[in-house]
Structure 1
Amino acid sequence: MRRADRLSQILQYLRGGRLTTAAQLAERLEVTPRTIYRDIAHLIGSGVPIEGEAGVGYLMRDGYDLPPLMFTQEEIVALVSGARVLQAFGGTKMAAAAQEALVKIDAVLPEAARAQVGQVAVHAMQGPIPGGHWRDYLDTFEAAAQSQTRLGITYADEHGRGTDRIVRPLGVWFWGKVWTAVCWCELRDAFRMFRLDRILRVAELDRFRPIKGQTLRDFYETEAYRH
Structure 2
Amino acid sequence: MRRSERLTEIVEIIRDGRLHLARDIAEALEVSERTIYRDIATLIASGVPVDGERGVGYMLREPVFLPPLALSMTELEALSLGMSIVQEVADEELRLGAKTLHEKIASHALNRRKSPEAWGFGLYEFKRVRDGLKFMPTLRHAIRNREVLRIGYHSLSDKHSQRSIRPLQTDYWGRVWTLSAWCETRGDFRAFRIDRITDCNATGTTFTDEPGKTIEDYLRHIEETMRTDQHH
Q: TM-score, normalised by structure 1?
A: 0.47
